[in-house]
Amino acid sequence: MWFYMIAVFLVLVGIIGGVASGGIFTLIFIPLGAIMLVVAVLMGMWHRSQQASAGGQTEGSKTEQAPLRHTPPQGTPSPTRPEELVDARRAQQ
């Protein structure tokens, strides 16, 4: 995905620079951006075909996770103050 963003940025800079000043922008940035865009599309197509041939999922999972609890777990609460923490450590020894 980041490759697409770089390619689009280079194409935009090349077009704006080519219109505004020509020269190096037209000669370098437009072909470079076009090459990057083509490579990004081809790599995306190739990776998708590899994923499909490897037997991977092509669509997202439709299973839902269990909702989080709204109540804290039962039992003793963890110590929140330094004194309680020291007492808890002493009790463990």
pLDDT along the chain (93 residues), means of 10: 77 76 73 83 86 65 71 70 86 82
**pLDDT at position 65:** 75
**pLDDT at position 7:** 78
**pLDDT at position 27:** 77
**pLDDT at position 8:** 80
What is the pTM assigned to this prediction?
A: 0.42
d(CA 44, CA 24): 30
**pLDDT at position 26:** 72
- Token match 């037997």: residue? 55
**pLDDT at position 62:** 65
